[in-house]
Amino acid sequence: MDGVEMEPFKKRGFASDNNAGVHPRIMEAIAQANQGHVVAYGDDPYTEAAIRKFKETFGEETEVFFVYNGTGANVLSLQSLTHSFQAIICAETAHINEDECGAPEKFTGCKLLTISTKNGKITIEQIRPHLHALGNEHHAQPKVISITQATELGTVYLPDEITAITRFAHQNGLFVHLDGARICNAAVALNVGLREATRDLGVDVLSFGGTKNGVMFGEAVIFFNPDLARDFKFIRKQGTQLASKMRFIAVQFEALLTDHLWRRNAEHANTMATLLAREVRDITQVEIVQSVDANAIFAKIPQEQIQLLQQEYFFYVWDEEQSIVRWMTSFDTTEEDIMGFVSLLKKVLG
Amino acid sequence: MDGVEMEPFKKRGFASDNNAGVHPRIMEAIAQANQGHVVAYGDDPYTEAAIRKFKETFGEETEVFFVYNGTGANVLSLQSLTHSFQAIICAETAHINEDECGAPEKFTGCKLLTISTKNGKITIEQIRPHLHALGNEHHAQPKVISITQATELGTVYLPDEITAITRFAHQNGLFVHLDGARICNAAVALNVGLREATRDLGVDVLSFGGTKNGVMFGEAVIFFNPDLARDFKFIRKQGTQLASKMRFIAVQFEALLTDHLWRRNAEHANTMATLLAREVRDITQVEIVQSVDANAIFAKIPQEQIQLLQQEYFFYVWDEEQSIVRWMTSFDTTEEDIMGFVSLLKKVLG
Amino acid sequence: MDGVEMEPFKKRGFASDNNAGVHPRIMEAIAQANQGHVVAYGDDPYTEAAIRKFKETFGEETEVFFVYNGTGANVLSLQSLTHSFQAIICAETAHINEDECGAPEKFTGCKLLTISTKNGKITIEQIRPHLHALGNEHHAQPKVISITQATELGTVYLPDEITAITRFAHQNGLFVHLDGARICNAAVALNVGLREATRDLGVDVLSFGGTKNGVMFGEAVIFFNPDLARDFKFIRKQGTQLASKMRFIAVQFEALLTDHLWRRNAEHANTMATLLAREVRDITQVEIVQSVDANAIFAKIPQEQIQLLQQEYFFYVWDEEQSIVRWMTSFDTTEEDIMGFVSLLKKVLG
Amino acid sequence: MDGVEMEPFKKRGFASDNNAGVHPRIMEAIAQANQGHVVAYGDDPYTEAAIRKFKETFGEETEVFFVYNGTGANVLSLQSLTHSFQAIICAETAHINEDECGAPEKFTGCKLLTISTKNGKITIEQIRPHLHALGNEHHAQPKVISITQATELGTVYLPDEITAITRFAHQNGLFVHLDGARICNAAVALNVGLREATRDLGVDVLSFGGTKNGVMFGEAVIFFNPDLARDFKFIRKQGTQLASKMRFIAVQFEALLTDHLWRRNAEHANTMATLLAREVRDITQVEIVQSVDANAIFAKIPQEQIQLLQQEYFFYVWDEEQSIVRWMTSFDTTEEDIMGFVSLLKKVLG
């Protein structure tokens, strides 16, 4: 890498769990898969093996499709559940609403009906009024409720909260999509398995996240109702999300689902967030504004010190007006990172 | 990888250049990039370095965007050049027409105006009649000519053939997109550099292929006119083709453009195709039906022997009715592969 | 209409059956409906009455939706039958392919698979090869066969020709859409009723044309399988084709279906075309190049005389290179029009 | 109209200004245009004359396109101003957000960024936060501000309120679209001309409403910046909104703009609303909840009496939970209608 200024690489931070690299076990799996020829586009034994792991995890009737990234997983999931005249209900803070540059609208043609929340979680009381439109051709027809677990605000739905939504959805002819970019962190937080955290709660389709949990690239779309998956291979291909050298996505997930690597990575990230939260509670100028359920901390800190802090540890400002920042931990966050950051915080804000 | 039946991996074949794995130098670059934290989505020094390499190759005013795959590169390129009421002119055999499950239509809303060809190459005589529609609101308005180099039939446009098209396009207010999934093979075939093979011939936007030339995943969209690139970062994000851990695409291209790896890989693949073509010319039951310009051979062989051959070396039937098959070579094809296959062909067909 | 140069209005012509005005009985029906208040968007007794007439004509289980125009009827029909990854098979000359500025692609996201024909009619031999793609995710999946009756070339499918297509379609899981912009002319040509010309032949969805047969504005989308119509009211609204003052479309169709006005109008137009065809057969410089089955004549005439003819009777050149012109007759074409034009033809070309 | 139950037609109501029929002068213009042949799709002297009237009204550099209806006018206007990765800012109550079944999303691919309002009017203070997203590829890029005048809540923006928005928009590189389904009522309310109410305030594109002001069908899209109109004829055709017998839309607008018919119709409707508002102010159980600026009254009335009232005069419930109803007046509302309704209200609610 001649000519590359290497200095910046050294910098650690709490900007995002996708600023981390790739877990060594996953990198190793990739390297091992790099031998000989296999059929492209997923008709290969690596992909078969990875799908088998998913079926062991979520149940036999599960249908699994690998895609490149979270936005792809989300919008193609939604496309498989909707017609253009329908609507998708979600939190205002949902990644599909806030962070995908309008991809859901472009891919599905649907309207997003958003719900303002305090903690990123929506309830059936908030969803219900949107169903008044059902049957009235002048209004986009609600068809999917999309929730994020863990949420974009670092909170985690309790199982009962999800069950209430899926039951309500199904009673009204709607589907439930779960954006699981951080589903592993949520399962760890709830101390349940992946199946207990998703399928068993009535979720119809899951965007299963890998990238934020140690994977290089790749997510999985998982259908718990095989009927819904019938056309997905076409939707994925037309949606530009079919990888030709599929084996290199598949083996990453095979590794992630082996020896509970998914759990160990997520557990570590969550633990680091808990540690950071505990350590900063003493600092009076730091006010934690969301429940620290998974691997994110949202904190209100004095605006004038933010830049100074960012010079040593990179992180994002979430809400400029309220001076709220976000600190994400990841599988590779170290106690040293936490302690270094805490002592910086104390020095700057103390 | 317990539980995976490893036998099939041993099988070599000529099915596609994306059935090969990843070139060792590229795998090494990936491994080296896996350290510490860098900002996601491309705002990192690896990506900066890779873009610098592209600018050295194609010229300073070039704008470069990494995406996941060839379909993504093609359809987002086309989207950046069109409005939905316009049309894209291409060969009937073009990947964008035949092999992307209608992705160009979905992403752009445009009509594809296809031209029937003998060898995958289109000419201005064939393009011209489509321009009668210009200005008439009842017809989709031609706006882009998309050509593939090397073509899907393994042939290569001569520089003058491309210049004729780009000049004609620009005189009529159209853009030229080049699907360069195998542009490296074409440049090698023409014995010119990458810039001479594209920008210098008047091409506006290039899908620069990596996956078929030793990359794990990733292609680049290259704009030779920066004005056309103005909105591309939004188009890429909305199009689900923005990688979060971008560094792992970037370093692959950085490696590909270092020490002429792109050329050496393509040269090898082309040489292997030439070798195979030479060796089978003696076999009377094998009729090569397209000029072997790059790394593909299209041959007519007796239908009844095809399955027998496929059992030992995997390849695809291109045209069942005419019994034409396709043999692709790649950066990792060996002389031993060729000779083994040739002797099988002689045994079975001789 | 002060300030309007009235001269041009006097000019008669054979340009198109939508250059004619509105049949007096239909104009009268419109005027009569203009009293008092009725609920907008079709929930009114006029619309109910018109739908009842359609059900009497086509059978009780028919579902009927009024839209503004033929392009609207076609693209929304197609949208109701497809997903974006699917494909629509049609003749190259089909209105949906040639004359709607790419509307089908924009509305459906689908690819159009076109068939080159001599007379505007397609056959299952031509359709069959397109079905090779079924099941292969790299290719758009054929789902609809769209035929036009009478065709854009003035020819009429025989009932058996349509039955062959609908049977083939249904055997292969495809639907058949019929663009019936001139279905009345076709039914008259075949000497059958409207139901015999459509539903009884196995057609799934019909764009029933009014505008070219004496209506001011409005077409009807008719589903012969009510299941397919389930979502159409939403598709129509989102597709901008739901008229607020619906009664003024409905009464036109009510009048068209009363006392066989549809038949009388079409019969007259067809008769005039037959007359014109008979009269010009003597003129050696006029070569009729398509069978005159309905109300259109396609003729090859000397290029240098076309403009001179157009100065007195307006019509369109269909194919400039081959010097083929199109003469359409309509419900208001008179024998005087025909004879005047014939004597001009004889004078200019004789 | 044999077989039609005529009783319901007699019923008068306040449901919507498009439950009314067609103004006699407009019906007369339609009848007069029904003679002879004219070229279809707008290349005729009637359309030319109508466009000339618009240019006299709004200024020479205006570009005018007729379409079928308001939804068509709105979504095609928006499509002409946007790319799919952009966003449209509007009030939550905007017709484009609430009443078009998601048509804007389908046609443009854009996200709608909605603003909650008390009276249907938005302000730059509410718009400004949405511009934080500008330049950030993860967020849909605001490009158009769409306002409705008169609003869907019957209120009217003051000229200064609109100027503030258009100035702010242009300073930030955004366009302003005005949904003028009831722009005539607003101009009358403000006592200004149509140009003063739109173009002179900095509006870029106007959906000029006809249907709610005495027209049978048809709206006009008016561009005050001809550059923005360059592609609109293609957008209109692909958008299924190009009428073949265009003359019958054109003459309606020609009549509407002749002898101030637009003003007289709107003035009458507004006056009737004012009268109704004045008459019900005494009734204690009727609480008018929005300023009665144009031809709509929003009133809170006791829920249990609503059905009884609707049996004699049809109108819609706007907000079931709050028991708010909407009463619209139109060009054909009579003082008798008002007085009859008021006395019913007094009888039922008094």
Instruction: Map A80-116 to HEC letters.
Output: HHCCCCEEEEEECCCHHHHCCCCHHHHHHCCEEEEEC
Amino acid present at B338 = I
Q: What is the pLDDT of residues C248-303, one digit of tens each?
A: 999 999 999 999 999 999 999 999 999 999 999 999 999 999 999 999 999 999 99
Task: Tell me the β-bridge partners of D150.
Answer: none
C54-105 per-position pLDDT tens digit: 999 999 999 999 999 999 999 999 999 999 999 999 999 999 999 999 999 9
pLDDT in tens, C2-48: 333 434 445 788 988 889 999 999 999 999 999 989 999 999 999 99
- D180 sits in which H/E element: strand D175-180
- Region of A46 (left: φ > 0; alpha: ψ -120 to 50; beta: rest) is alpha
pLDDT (0 to 100) of residue D16: 87
B7, pLDDT greater than 70:
no
Question: Which residues neighbour A230 within 8 Å (Cβ) at sequence distance 6 or greater?
Answer: none
State the pLDDT confidence band at B350, using cuts at 50, 70 and 90. Answer: confident
CB pairs under 8 A between C and D: 200
C237 → closest Cβ in A137, A234, A236: A137
Question: For residues C338 and D9, what is the distance between their CA atoms, to the nearest angstrom?
Answer: 44
Taking an 8 Å cut-off on Cβ atoms, the answer to whether C105 and B101 are in contact is no
Residues of B with Cβ-Cβ distance to D137 under 8 angstroms: 41, 233-234, 236-237, 242
**Nearest by CB: D72 against C12, C217, C240:** C240
Per-residue pLDDT tens over the stretch C159-211: 999 999 999 999 999 999 999 999 999 999 999 999 999 999 999 999 999 99
Per the model's pLDDT, the better-predicted residue between A282 and D2 turns out to be A282
Best mutation target among B240, B328, B337 (most A Cβ atoms within 10 Å) is B240
- Say which of C85, C105, C138 has its CB closest to residue B109: C105
Mutate to test the interface with D, among C37, C95, C242, C272 (most CBs of D within 10 A): C37
Cross-chain CB nearest to A85 (options C83, C141, C231):
C231
Per residue in A292-336, pLDDT (tens digit) is: 999 999 999 999 999 999 999 999 999 999 999 999 999 999 999
Q: Are C289 and C238 in contact (CB under 8 A)?
A: no
What string of H, E and C letters represents the secondary structure of chain C?
CCCCCCHHHHCCECCCCCCCCCCHHHHHHHHHHCCCCCCCCCCCHHHHHHHHHHHHHHCCCCEEEEECCHHHHHHHHHHHHCCCCEEEEEECCCHHHHCCCCHHHHHHCCEEEEECCCCCCCCHHHHHHHHHHCCCCCCCEEEEEEEECCCCCCCCCCHHHHHHHHHHHHHCCCEEEEEECCHHHHHHHHCCCCCCCCHHHCCCEEEECCHHHCCCCCEEEEECCHHHHCCHHHHHHHCCCCCCCCHHHHHHHHHHCCCCHHHHHHHHHHHHHHHHHHHHCCCCCCEECCCCCCCEEEEECCHHHHHHHHHHCECEEEECCCCEEEEECCCCCCHHHHHHHHHHHHHHHC
pLDDT at res. B10: 53
Q: Residue D264 and residue B160: Cα distance in Å, rounded?
A: 68
Q: Could you give the residue ranges of the DSSP H alpha helices within chain A? A: 7-10, 24-33, 45-58, 70-81, 95-98, 103-108, 124-127, 159-171, 183-190, 232-238, 247-256, 261-280, 306-312, 335-349
Domains and CATH numbers, chain D: 24-256 (3.40.640.10), 261-349 (3.90.1150.10)
Asked if B68 lies within 8 A of A243 by C-beta distance, the reply is yes
Q: Give pLDDT tens digits for A221-268.
A: 999 999 999 999 999 999 999 999 999 999 999 999 999 999 999 999
Kindly report whether the peptide bond that precedes residue C150 is cis, defined as omega within 30 degrees of 0. Answer: yes
**ipTM computed for the complex:** 0.96
B14-32 pLDDT, tens digit per residue, is 988 889 999 999 999 999 9
| Chain A residues with CB-CB distance to C137 below 8 A | 41, 233-234, 236-237, 242
Q: How far is B171 from chain A (nearest CA, A)?
A: 32
Kindly give the confidence (pLDDT) of every residue in chain D, 350 residues in length, as a single tens digit, with 9 standing for 90 and above: 333 343 444 578 898 888 999 999 999 999 999 998 999 999 999 999 999 999 999 999 999 999 999 999 999 999 999 999 999 999 999 999 999 999 999 999 999 999 999 999 999 999 999 999 999 999 999 999 999 999 999 999 999 999 999 999 999 999 999 999 999 999 999 999 999 999 999 999 999 999 999 999 999 999 999 999 999 999 999 999 999 999 999 999 999 999 999 999 999 999 999 999 999 999 999 999 999 999 999 999 999 999 999 999 999 999 999 999 999 999 999 999 999 999 999 999 97
CA A68, CA A332: separation in Å to the nearest integer?
22
| DSSP letter, residue D314 | B
Q: What is the DSSP string of D261-278?
A: HHHHHHHHHHHHHHHHHH
- Residue in the block written with tokens 């078009």: D100
pLDDT, position C1: 34
A231, C85: Cβ pair inside 8 Å?
A: yes
Cβ <8 Å between C138 and B84: no
Q: What is the DSSP string of D46-111?
A: HHHHHHHHHHHHH-TT-EEEEES-HHHHHHHHHHHH--TTEEEEEETT-HHHHSSTTHHHHHH-PE
Report pTM: 0.96
Within 8 A of C236 by CB-CB distance, chain A residues are 137
Amino acid at B332: D
- Residue C52 C-alpha, separation from nearest chain B C-alpha, in angstroms: 34
For residues B236 and A41, give the distance between their C-alpha atoms in angstroms, rounded to a whole number.
22
For A27, half-sphere exposure in the C-beta direction (CA atoms, 13 angstrom radius) is: 15
* Sign of the dihedral through C-alpha C27, C28, C31, C36: negative
Distance from CA of D9 to the nearest CA of A (A): 23
**CA D281, CA D20: separation in Å to the nearest integer?**
26
Of A39, A103, A251, the CB nearest to B314: A39
- Return the residue in A75, A79, A106, A110 with the most chain D beta carbons within 10 A, the one to mutate for interface testing: A106
CA distance B212 to B19: 9
| B chain contacts of residue A244, beta-carbon cutoff 8 Å | 16, 18, 69-70, 211, 217
Q: CB distance C101–B140 less than 8 Å?
A: yes
Of C85, C102, C132, the CB nearest to B110: C102
Of the candidates D87, D106, D112, the beta carbon closest to that of A109 is on D106
Q: Do A100 and D138 touch (CB under 8 A)?
A: yes
A64-77 pLDDT, tens digit per residue, is: 999 999 999 999 99
Nearest to B34 among A21, A34, A103 (CB): A21
What is the distance between the alpha carbons of residues D247 and D81, in angstroms, rounded to a whole number?
A: 27
Residue C108 with chain A: CB contacts under 8 Å:
none
Q: How far is CA C281 from CA C250, C318, D251, in A?
A: 41, 19, 41
Assess contact for D290 and D154: CB atoms under 8 A. Answer: yes
**3-state SS track over chain B:** CCCCCCHHHHCCECCCCCCCCCCHHHHHHHHHHCCCCCCCCCCCHHHHHHHHHHHHHHCCCCEEEEECCHHHHHHHHHHHHCCCCEEEEEECCCHHHHCCCCHHHHHHCCEEEEECCCCCCCCHHHHHHHHHHCCCCCCCEEEEEEEECCCCCCCCCCHHHHHHHHHHHHHCCCEEEEEECCHHHHHHHHCCCCCCCCHHHCCCEEEECCHHHCCCCCEEEEECCHHHHCCHHHHHHHCCCCCCCCHHHHHHHHHHCCCCHHHHHHHHHHHHHHHHHHHHCCCCCCEECCCCCCCEEEEECCHHHHHHHHHHCECEEEECCCCEEEEECCCCCCHHHHHHHHHHHHHHHC
Cα distance between residue D319 and residue A9, in whole Å = 57
Chain A nearest CA to D167, separation (Å): 24
At B274, the amino acid letter reads T
pLDDT in tens, B51-79: 999 999 999 999 999 999 999 999 999 99
Q: Please give the Cα distance from A329 to A314 (Å, whole number).
A: 12
Length of chain B: 350
Q: Which residues pair with A68 in a beta bridge?
A: none
Q: Which of B115, B116, B120, B119 is nearest to B131 (CA)?
A: B115
Residue of C nearest to A238 (CA): C85
* Cβ-defined contact of C35 to D22 (cutoff 8 Å): no
With CA atoms as reference, the chain A residue closest to D107 would be A109
CB B161 within 8 A of CB B124: no
In angstroms, the separation between the Cα of residue C16 and the nearest Cα of chain D is: 8
Which 3 state secondary structure label does DSSP give A169?
Answer: helix
**What's chain B's average pLDDT?**
95
- For B281, the token pair is 């010319």
Helix, strand or coil for residue D160? Answer: helix
CA–CA separation, D61 and D56 (whole Å): 10
Using beta carbons and an 8 Å cutoff, which residues of A are at the interface with D? 84-87, 98-102, 105-106, 109-112, 132, 137-141, 320
Rounded to the nearest angstrom, the gap between the alpha carbon of residue D55 and the centroid of all alpha carbons in its chain is 20
Which SS3 state, helix, strand or coil, does residue A222 take? strand
Q: With an 8 Å Cβ cutoff, are B101 and C132 in contact? A: no
Residues of chain C with a CB closer than 8 angstroms to some CB in chain A: 41, 83-86, 109, 137-138, 140-141, 231, 233-238, 242
Chains that touch C (3 or more CB pairs under 8 A): A, B, D
What are the pLDDT digits (tens) for B159-215?
999 999 999 999 999 999 999 999 999 999 999 999 999 999 999 999 999 999 999
Which residues have CB under 8 Å from B44's CB, separation 6+? A8, B38, B246, B247, B250
C-alpha C259/C-alpha A275 separation (Å) is: 85
Task: Dig out the tokens for A142 from the structure.
Answer: 């609600």
Of B3, B8, B101, Cβ closest to residue A237: B101
Beta strands C287-288 and C219-223 are unpaired
Query: What is the C-alpha to C-alpha distance for residues A187 and B122, in angstroms, rounded to an integer?
Result: 55
